Structure formats: structure tokens, C-alpha cells
Amino acid sequence: MLEFMQDVFRRFGGNFELLTDQAGVEGSACFGTMIEAVDLVVGEIDPRLRALPGYARRLKQPLGIAFHFIDELVEAVPGPILCNCIAFSDDPRVSAFFVNPEHMKEVFSRSEDVRRMFDKNLEVDDCYALLSMKKVQSKQFGMALVGDSVRGDVLQTTVNFTDHQVLSPNIDEAGTRRAIKCLIFKDLISYIQDRASAAKCDAIERDTRLKSLRSRLHHSVDKSDEEVNRADLETRIAMLENDIESNGLRAASLDGTLSFVSEVFSKPAKFLVASTESIRLSRVGVLLDAGSTEPGYDVFVSQVCIGSRSPRVMALVRFLRTDLLPRQDFITEADLFLAL
């Protein structure tokens, strides 16, 4: 599936309106592409969906919308950001993302994907990749200039970037952007799978509860001192029936699953949220207010959040082969660090 998705983004990148508009025109190249795409996606999510009449027709247009949305989202990501020692001193984004230049080198050097990319392309000097991180804000007391004096008990907000992951390394920027699009699309499918699985478990649990409540109501004795109890059971049954009826994903049924898949693809902005914010930081990572006179720099941070998952900072980066740490040196340094 990954190879097919790479080809789709290569062929239609920047022109997904064509794919979406002609998705339903039988005989067009776009029609054939969408039929194959739908079949692959359904195979990933739940092959049983193929048993539903018209499943391909219901998913062609929504799938084209999702492709278009992801294509525009990734193309809007700025970069690539050069990550080397000079950039650490000159580019505030690089100095914000990493603790120091050695930490930066370690992040890329411990990636087996980066090493394989360089090993397979001996003539290539640059590695383009997606740098994914968590942005963590915390409160602590520190030193700051208050009026004309320096105080050491000022409550400050620090910003740190952790859990660095180097994804989709490639020999050029275009290839990396395509790989990132495939990665996001794959994550969107994983989100659908997770939701469908959770909904199935939830549907079973609710059905069990409903049967239990109905059984208790059926076997209750109609006496005056049990009127309150019967009324409570009837209320709880009605609420549970209403919850089952109004639930957005009724994954217990195949048609409900197909409807949810169609909704996710046709409204990707509802489930795939991207945002960019500008934060002002000091050189030691303290978040500065807009009116602060303390020296600092502005950092633009792009974040992507899929469904209810935690947002991740996303940056397109470029790393040089000359900064790749020798494998033995890197392993030795890592062992020494763990021994401390």
C-alpha cells in the first residue's frame, strides 16, 4: 500500500482537484486510481466492507478529499530547516528543538533509517526527514530581571522539546514530503481502526448492560414499594437506548463502520488538526510575554493532532552526512550515559 500511496502523491500532488472531480467518471485514469485506492484502504480497515453494495462508490469522493487535504497540509509545512552546529547558533528553531549540538547529532545518529538512507546512497551528502517531537511546558522558579534588580524566585514557564523521532528520511525534499503524506494518511487509517475497535467493544458492553436492565425490569414485581425502582430502571433503559441510537460510530454494524470511514475522509479537518503558533523564548527556553524586554527570539511551531491523540510538533529538516556520529562512538557514548 505504501508504494501505491507514494505513486498517488507523486502523480497528483498539487492537482488533487482533478482526482476528486473525476473520481466518479468511469473510464478516466482517475476513476481507476480511486477504485484501486478504495480497495486498498478497505483491505486495511476491514475487508468485510467489500460485502456492502456500493461501498466503492460511497468512498471514492471522500477519499479524494482526504488526499487533497493531506497534500496541502504537508506542502504548507515550512522548511527544510538545516540542523548543524552553525544553525544551532544562528537559527532559534534549532537551538529550541535540541539541548546542544551534540544532542542534535545524537538524535539523527541513533536513527537506523537515517543510517540506511546514507548507506544506500553513498553519493548523497544530505538527509531530508520529518522531525517529530513533543512540546512540553512546565512551571519553575528561576532568575529574571524585575524592574532594576535580578530576582531568583520568579515563577517562569519553560518550553522543552522531547521524544525526538526522525521519520521518512529521503535523499531530497520532494521525496520526504511524499513520505510524510503517506505517513499521515497511514496514521489516519490507524485512527479509524482504533476507533472502530473501541466502538465494537463499547457496543458489546452497552448491549450487555441493556439486556441486564431489561431482564431486571421484566422480573421485577409490580408493587407500590418498588415503583421508584421500576421508574429508575425504565429511565436508565431509555437513556441507554437513546445513547445507542445517537452514537456517532455504530461499529457493531458494517454499514455504521463504512459511514464513519466516509465521514473521516470527507471531513479530514475534523479529525486531522494542524496548527502553527509563534512563541517567544529566551536562550534558556523560558517562555516570554509579548511585552517582555528580556532578550529572546520568535519560534514558529507547527503541530499536528490526529483524533484525540496528543499533538506532535512537526518540522521538515535537513541533516548532513558529515555530522553523523560514528556508530561505535555513538554506542559507547550512549552506554556511558546510561551508566551514570
| Predicted pLDDT of residue 48 | 92
Average pLDDT over residues 293-317: 87
Most confidently modeled range among 107-111, 196-200, 217-221, 237-241: 107-111
| Predicted pLDDT of residue 230 | 76
Biggest distance spanned by C-alpha atoms of the chain: 88
**Residue 226: pLDDT above 70?**
no
CB 324 within 8 A of CB 109: yes
Q: Has residue 49 been placed in a domain? A: yes
Question: pLDDT band at 9, cuts 50/70/90?
Answer: confident
Question: pLDDT band at 284, cuts 50/70/90?
Answer: confident
Instruction: Please give the share of the chain, as a percent, with pLDDT higher than 90.
Output: 37
**Residue 262: pLDDT above 50?**
yes
Residues 11 and 98 both lie in one domain: no
Neighbours of 208 (CB within 10 A): 10
**Residue 135: pLDDT above 90?**
yes
Most confidently modeled range among 6-10, 138-142, 169-173: 169-173
Mean pLDDT of the chain: 82
Residues 303 and 172 both lie in one domain: yes
Q: Which domain holds residue 301?
A: 81-183+269-339
Q: Has residue 262 been placed in a domain? A: no
- Torsion sign, CA atoms 240, 242, 244, 249: negative
Report the C-alpha gap between 244 and 246 in whole angstroms: 6
Residues 67 and 155 both lie in one domain: no
Q: Has residue 190 been placed in a domain? A: no
- Looking up cell 431486571, which residue turns up? 216
Residues 117 and 179 both lie in one domain: yes
Write out 41-109 in H/E/C secondary structure.
HHHHHCHHHHHCCCHHHHHHHHHHHHHHHHHHHHHCCCCCEEECHHHHHHCHHHHHHCCCHHHHHHHHH
Of the three residues 227, 253, 279, the one that is the final residue of a domain is 253
Residues 159 and 222 both lie in one domain: no
Of the three residues 57, 77, 97, the one that is the final residue of a domain is 77
Q: Has residue 264 been placed in a domain? A: no
Q: Has residue 263 been placed in a domain? A: no
Residues 159 and 236 both lie in one domain: no
Of the three residues 77, 107, 136, the one that is the final residue of a domain is 77
The pTM (predicted TM-score) of the whole model is 0.73
**Residue 87: pLDDT above 60?**
yes
Question: pLDDT band at 114, cuts 50/70/90?
Answer: very high
Q: Has residue 305 been placed in a domain? A: yes
**Residue 247: pLDDT above 90?**
no
Contacts of 34 (CB under 8 A, 6+ apart): 19, 23, 60, 63, 64
Residues 164 and 91 both lie in one domain: yes
Contacts of 227 (CB under 8 A, 6+ apart): none
Q: CA separation (Å) from 330 to 5, 95, 111, 253, 319?
A: 35, 21, 11, 52, 17
Residues 173 and 282 both lie in one domain: yes
Q: Has residue 261 been placed in a domain? A: no
Residues 97 and 160 both lie in one domain: yes
Residues 206 and 297 both lie in one domain: no
| Predicted pLDDT of residue 248 | 47
Residues 120 and 57 both lie in one domain: no
Report the C-alpha gap between 62 and 45 in whole angstroms: 15
Per the structure, the count of domains in the chain is 3
Q: What is the pLDDT of residues 41-71, one digit of tens each?
A: 999 999 999 999 999 999 988 998 999 999 9
Instruction: Please give the share of the chain, as a percent, with pLDDT higher than 70.
Output: 81
Neighbours of 62 (CB within 10 A): 20
**Residue 24: pLDDT above 70?**
no
Residues 205 and 124 both lie in one domain: no
**Residue 285: pLDDT above 60?**
yes
Question: pLDDT band at 251, cuts 50/70/90?
Answer: very low
CB 262 within 8 A of CB 60: no
Radius of gyration of the chain (CA): 26
Average pLDDT over residues 320-333: 79
**Residue 177: pLDDT above 50?**
yes
